[in-house]
A and B are shown apart, each in its own frame.
Chain A
Amino acid sequence: MTHDNIRHDDTCPEIEAALAEMARRDLDAFDPALVDRICLRTQGLLAGGADQSAERPMIVGRIHRATRWLALAAVVVLTLTVGILVSNATRSRTTLPTGADRPVEVLAASLERDIDGVLSMDGLWSSGLGDRIDVLYAETALIDDGVGVEWLDEQVLGTGGSL
């Protein structure tokens, strides 16, 4: 088997001839049954069928789409998580006095809202402040009168107590 449409470059005739002969060998190694095998492999592809070898790109496409959805879901979950964490942190600053750096203000706010939470504060009883809780609770009305935080501050600092 040879190619008919080759016009040789006559500068290197021996190389051209050798290349032509090598091409003939490559063409002669062709198994005509390969045409059948190709048609078998592509059977149904052009007719709109689902050849397995042709589905690979579709599978890859599905994986890409799934990856995009997973990435989007991950972003949504991450956003929600961050939102919840920020929300909790904000809420804890007003309702959870443990570890707060302004104990008197927290205590004053807490007395108004959640006396049980105040009573369960870490370090409250060991600080000695717990002994005065009843007094403080009874006098929280002063907060509304404008004395509020300053008054409580004096009470706590005056006893040497600290949260």
Chain B
Amino acid sequence: MRAALTTSRDAPGNEGGVDASLLEAAARGDAGAWRTLVGSYAHRVFALARSRMHDDDRAEEITQSVFVTVATKLRDGGYSERGRFESWLFRVAMNRIRDEARRERRQASPVAPESLRGVEAREPEESPYGDVAFRALREALSQLGEADREVIHLRHQAGMSFKEIAELLGEPLGTLLARHHRALRKLKAIMGSRREALP
């Protein structure tokens, strides 16, 4: 079954950063259009997943499954967000990451600092920030509440605008900005209490 893709009349030609015609073409089975779409977003979905899962392989699996879901929805007409493709895509990604995080909590012990060190050990060394500081930052992030952490990851890893995040989470923009600000201050406080110096 293939349903027609609904696009916004208010924002013709643009689907939350993606050309509506590109979405239409991808939904019709145009491999080139679909590849362009995947190429535009896969790295951001991957970064978001990696920041939450601390594991490259799981981040890749999540990214793949997100695009399988997106492709299926596009084919079946399940996408009807009207001009908010990016918000919709990252909502799918966040749901998938939440599921994975829940599964992880059920099956395994809490994230051990060693596992974070494993991630940092694979990362490039040219960063001006020391690995110790990054470990501290990831651990501080893991201490934030789920909602605060999501805002931070969506903002910094997924590179979304506050407006898009507000749409995705269904919250007023002001509330979201305040939450982001509070989350930064909490991170700063946690980092300060750990006496981990950031450059």
Contact = CB atoms under 8 A, between A and B. Distances in A.
16 contacts: A3-B44, A4-B159, A5-B161, A15-B188, A22-B134, A22-B138, A31-B60, A34-B46, A42-B34, A46-B31, A46-B34, A47-B29, A47-B31, A53-B68, A54-B71, A57-B72
Main SS of chain A's interface residues? helix
Contacts of A54: 68, 71-72
Contact of B38 (A20, A26, A31, A38): A38
B124 interface: yes
A52 to B, nearest CB: 10
B198 A14 contact: yes
A25 B59 CA distance: 13
Interface in A21-47: 21-31, 34-35, 37-39, 41-43, 45-47
Given A18-B129, A27-B47, A30-B47, A12 B38 contact: no
B68 A48 contact: no
B105 interface: no
A13 to B, nearest CB: 10
Contacts of A43: 31
Contacts of A48: 2, 29, 75
A74 to B, nearest CB: 31
Contact of B47 (A9, A23, A37, A51): A23
A59 interface: no
A28 B124 contact: yes
Instruction: Tell which of B29, B71, B198 has the most Cβ of chain A within 10 Å.
Output: B71
B22 to A, nearest CB: 12
Contacts of A23: 47, 51, 156-157, 159
B169 interface: no
Given A18-B133, A46-B29, 11 more contacts: A3-B156, A14-B188, A18-B129, A26-B157, A34-B42, A35-B35, A39-B34, A42-B38, A42-B67, A46-B28, A48-B2
